[in-house]
Amino acid sequence: MSDFTSGFWSYYISAITLIGIVGCMVLLWRTGKARVSASSDESTGHVWDGDLREMNNPLPRWWVWLFVMSVIFSLAYLVLYPGLGSFAGNLGWSSSGQYEAEVAKAQAAEAPLYAKFAAMTPEEISRDPQAKQIGERLFMNNCAQCHGSDARGSKGFPNLTDGDWLHGGSPDKIKETITLGRIGQMPPMAAAVGNSEDVKNVANYVLSLSGSPHDSLRAALGKPKFSACGACHGANGAGNQALGAPNLSDNTWLHGYGESAIIAMVNQGKVNQMPAQAGKLTEAQIHVLTGYVWGFSNK
């Protein structure tokens, strides 16, 4: 309940909760005291389907006591657990606290196993059957949602099984990427390149760098304009891993292939983010996952 912006809302919710519980007891008491004028046959006079009558009988005792016990249970719950505004409950329980306790318990149980892998290099981990099994589960639970269960990625999500790496494919760089995450940003470059024809010419020049089908005349016209892109991608388009700038001279296209895709990239730019895993995985888990991922492109 720490998201309350003022104490008013805490008191408001507490009051609504308690009034609701007390109201239930008052309603039970009032209905128990109320008497409906009954006819000679002890019914309330309500008849359905011709012969289905509502009798003027009191509530069953077991039902009444079950209702009373439910109210007592709800009051006891509100004393022990959070439920009344910002009151944390006498037991001090919270969902986040329980989660952290369960994670800590699991990590303590796994510690002896991960201690064995901590002494191994990522290269050794990539060849160890047991480490690979653990790495596979870590990958499936934390990475496969974006990179795919086969690690081959998709549009906008890098393929981890080839040798094309935006930030470097060494074990240290892979561990750095998993731990800290990455933010890739290409600003819209249309204004720096020129008009729409210039953008189209640059797109054809980029296609020519990898030997892809292109308009050679437009490519020749786009070469001088590519200087606006060379600051990141390099004068020859080979990319820059220090900046995470893709290599444009190969046939790996992360965000789509062809003239229209490149034009859209130049005009609109792109922002991609890989979330950091340091808050979700332990250092030992990241070490095993690093070896597993490194093994994709280093059979």
283/143 same-domain check: yes
Q: Is 284 part of any domain?
A: yes
Reported confidence tier of residue 28, pLDDT bands at 50, 70, 90: confident
Assess whether pLDDT exceeds 50 at residue 240. Answer: yes
Residue 48 pairs with which residues in a beta bridge? 52
First-to-last C-alpha distance (Å) of the chain: 51
Reported confidence tier of residue 1, pLDDT bands at 50, 70, 90: very low
Q: Is 85 part of any domain?
A: no
pLDDT recorded at residue 273: 93
Residue 150 pairs with which residues in a beta bridge? none
46/189 same-domain check: no
| Structural domain count of the chain | 3
Assess whether pLDDT exceeds 80 at residue 34. Answer: no
| DSSP reduced 3-state for 48 | strand
Lowest pLDDT segment from 51-65, 175-189, 267-281: 51-65
166/292 same-domain check: yes
160-179 pLDDT, tens digit each: 999 899 999 999 999 999 99
User: 132 φ, ψ to 5°?
Assistant: -65, -35
Assess whether pLDDT exceeds 70 at residue 37. Answer: no
Q: Is 229 part of any domain?
A: yes
Where b means 16+ CB within 10 Å and e means fewer, 143-167 reads beeebeeebebeeebbbbbeebbbb
**Residue after which a domain boundary falls, among 80, 112, 135:** 80
Percent of the chain with pLDDT over 90: 72
CA torsion through residues 16, 19, 25, 28, sign: negative
**CATH number of the domain enclosing 214:** 1.10.760.10
Cβ contact 100:266 at 8 Å: no
pTM above 0.75, yes or no: no
pLDDT recorded at residue 148: 96
16/120 same-domain check: no
Assess whether pLDDT exceeds 90 at residue 4. Answer: no
129-145 pLDDT, tens digit each: 999 999 999 999 999 99
Q: Is 92 part of any domain?
A: no
**Residue after which a domain boundary falls, among 17, 47, 80:** 80
The amino acid that residue 120 corresponds to is M
114/144 same-domain check: yes
Reported confidence tier of residue 85, pLDDT bands at 50, 70, 90: confident
Distance CA 138, CA 40 (A): 75
Q: Report the mean per-residue pLDDT for the chain.
A: 90
Q: Is 130 part of any domain?
A: yes
- Overall average pLDDT of the 95-123 stretch: 90
17/128 same-domain check: no
Cβ contact 240:268 at 8 Å: no
172/133 same-domain check: yes
| DSSP reduced 3-state for 128 | coil
193/261 same-domain check: yes
Domain with 54 in it: 7-80
- Cα separations (Å) of 139 from 127, 161, 201? 16, 13, 41
Q: Is 1 part of any domain?
A: no
| Residue spans of beta strands (DSSP E) within the chain | 43-48, 52-55, 182-186, 270-274
169/289 same-domain check: yes
